[in-house]
Structure 1
Amino acid sequence: MRKQSRIVLVTGASRGAGKGIALAFGSEGDIVYVTGRTQSEGAAPLPGTVYATAEEITKRGGQGIAAICDHNDDAQVQALFERIQREQGRLDILVNNATHIHDDLIKPGAFWSKSLELANILNVGLRSSYVASYYAAKIMSENRSGLIVNTGSFGSSCYMHGPAYGAQKAGLDKMAWDMAHDLRPYNVASAAIWMGMLKTERTDAVMAAEPEKYENFFDLAESPEFTGRVISALYESSSLMEKSGYTFVGAELGQELGVKDIDGKQPISHRDMLGSPLSFSAAVVE
């Protein structure tokens, strides 16, 4: 374990990908702030609370700090970063993971036949990541060190769950590219990491409803902790700044950095099946 714990913020960590990512940092002894809105078990359709995540981080040897935060409220987000600055004096890693997921997301049908509330993923998901990065960059640029990661998806390159989901994921990739330009002089990096199929509370529920349809899912899926391990290794990599701005398939970056999943397996890339990250122009127009 390194001599100094890193200060990490993972947004949207009551359950799912955010929880897994946060637990991975907890296992490395880091001080991990986790945000969420679920304060008590049963208050949400899926299991998990922000307090339970923080408690598990501490059990693993880190320090979990629960922060109730609605990422649709800029004032709450600003207060969170002011708290981190006040309590820690720095922020080493921000993982933008908070996302609005509507029950209609994976239902069949055209986008106009589903709830208009699906568009809220552009607020809590895309805009909220910009706002969190805005405040994180203020802290990191002063300390001239840090990493901002947007959790992404192959939905950036293929049709997945409809246009709102796709626009949000594609936006996160471009945001990482553009932020890298502004952050580079301050030795702060940004990146987007595409996660594969994940074993989460939500997928457990979906599989339980249609077991035959998803019988091969677990052979292809990775744990959410894998992404946390990859982000940790990226932060410690000597090539961090060289990788700043790019979008990575998590499975491929994990293989490059020598990171395996919690079961000891090497997750596979779905590039051939679902597509590749886009290449953005290096041109700069001020």
Structure 2
Amino acid sequence: MKREPRNGSERSFMELAGKCAVVTGASRGIGKAIALRLAAAGMDVLVCARSEHQSDPNLHGTIVETAEQIRRLGGRGVAHRADLADTADVRSVIDRARLEFGRVDVLVNNAVHIGFGSILEAPADELDTALAVNLRAPYLAAKLVLPLMISQGGGAIINITAPGARPAPVEPAPENAPPSPFRFPIHPGYGISKIALEAFTNRLAHETAPHAIGVIAVEPQFVDTEMARWLLRPDFDASGMHSPDLIARVVAEIARNPMAHSGEVVSAQDFAA
């Protein structure tokens, strides 16, 4: 039976009611906001991440807490611990969703690995980890979920990318150039993997178009999350940062009609405006 949205302000998301989603990296930040927004629209949501128990004093939030908040909204929230660098764990996420829900209508690949250090400083396998979590896991999750979506007659695969995927001009830094906003240098594997994720989004969209499955990359800018606050320098002006819920609202809106933007890299801020 199709459920009504659970909040009067969510009536525009009525098409999502009664459907099911998987959101990776949903213990906190953008992933958690997306999971709760989809749940408020009437969806059941499986949330996965490594954070099953609170262990990091700098980063609060667990998938158990997210699932509980989904249940408070009246939906079914399932917490599933997974290390997405591990192929078996990626498979277990989709298997669990199939077991719990019998279907997956929306897959949000949000989990991310951000490495630190320059090419000279960081070990070579830092690139391997970035590619495993930020590219191979979304690739494999999509591959595993597609048969379900095809049998259902459609769906949405939404990949969360990053402004770090955009090539930047190489210019000598002026003497009075402002310092990097980050406390630590971000490893280039992060940007490399996000560029590849955007290319994958477009190529997969061509493949899934005949099945009414939209594949979209959503690009946030600076988002006010605990991770961002930890990464940014203490003197960084955070007044222009966006809330995780803005990204979540964009994802939910795109999920309503994914074919309208399939194959695109959508700027969350521009879309919201």
TM-score of the aligned structures, taking structure 1 as reference length? 0.78
Establish whether residue 11 from structure 1 lines up as the match of residue 24 from structure 2: yes
Q: 1:43 to 1:221 in 2, by over 3 A?
A: closer
Q: Pick one of 172, 176, 179 that aligns with 2:204.
A: 179
Mapped to 2, the partners of 1:45 and 1:35 lie a distance apart of 20
Question: Matches of 1:187 and 1:245 in 2, distance apart?
Answer: 12
Q: How does 1:78-157 map to 2 (within 5 A)?
A: 78-102=91-115, 104=116, 110-119=118-127, 120-157=129-166
Residue by residue over 1:93-120, the C-alpha shift from the partner in whole angstroms, topping out at 9 and shown as x without a partner, is 0000112233x2xx6xx32223445311
Alignment of 1:166-205 (within 5 A): 166-205=191-230
Segments of structure 2 that go 5 or more residues without pairing to the other structure are 6-13, 169-184
Misfit runs of 4+, over 6 Å: none
Alignment-derived partner of residue 224 in structure 1: 244
Secondary structure of 1:113's match?
coil
Any residues of structure 2 matched to 1:38-117 within 5 Å, and which? 38-42=51-55, 46-102=59-115, 104=116, 110-117=118-125
Shift of 1:43: 5.2
Contact kept in structure 2, 1:38 and 1:44, CA below 8 Å: no
**Paired letter, 2:120:** W
Conserved in 2, the CA contact under 8 Å of 1:23 and 1:225? Answer: no
Determine which structure has greater relative contact order: mean sequence separation of CA pairs < 8 Å that are 6+ residues apart, divided by chain length. Answer: 2
Segments of 5+ residues of structure 1 without an aligned counterpart are 256-286
The 10-residue stretch of structure 1 (44-53 or 144-153) with the greater mean CA deviation from structure 2: 44-53
How far apart, in 1, do the equivalents of 2:260 and 2:52 lie?
40
Kindly state the Cα deviation for residue 164 of structure 1 after the two structures are TM-superposed: 0.9
Whole-Å Cα distance in 2 between the matches of residues 22 and 248 of structure 1?
19
- Corresponding letter in the other structure for 2:234: P
Q: TM-score, normalised by structure 2?
A: 0.82
Indicate conservation of the 8 Å contact 1:96/1:129, yes or no.
yes
Q: Do the aligned partners of 1:146 and 1:187 also contact (CA within 8 Å) in 2?
A: yes
Sequence identity (%): 30
Change (3 A) 1:18 1:117: farther
Q: Which amino acid aligns with 1:80?
A: V
Q: Is the 8 A contact 2:48 2:93 kept in 1?
A: no
- State the superposition RMSD in angstroms: 2.0
The amino acid that maps onto 1:245 is: G
Residue 275 of structure 1 is matched in structure 2 by none
1:211 aligns with 2:234: yes
Aligned equivalents of 2:18, 2:104: Cα separation in 1 = 11
In 2: Cα distance, 1:21 partner to 1:194 partner: 14
What is the alpha-carbon distance in structure 2 between the residues aligned to residue 52 and residue 242 of structure 1?
33
For residue 111 of structure 1, give the secondary structure of its aligned residue in structure 2.
Answer: coil
Per-residue displacement from partner, 1:80-139 (whole Å, max 9, x unpaired)?
21232233221110000112233x2xx6xx322234453111111111110111111121
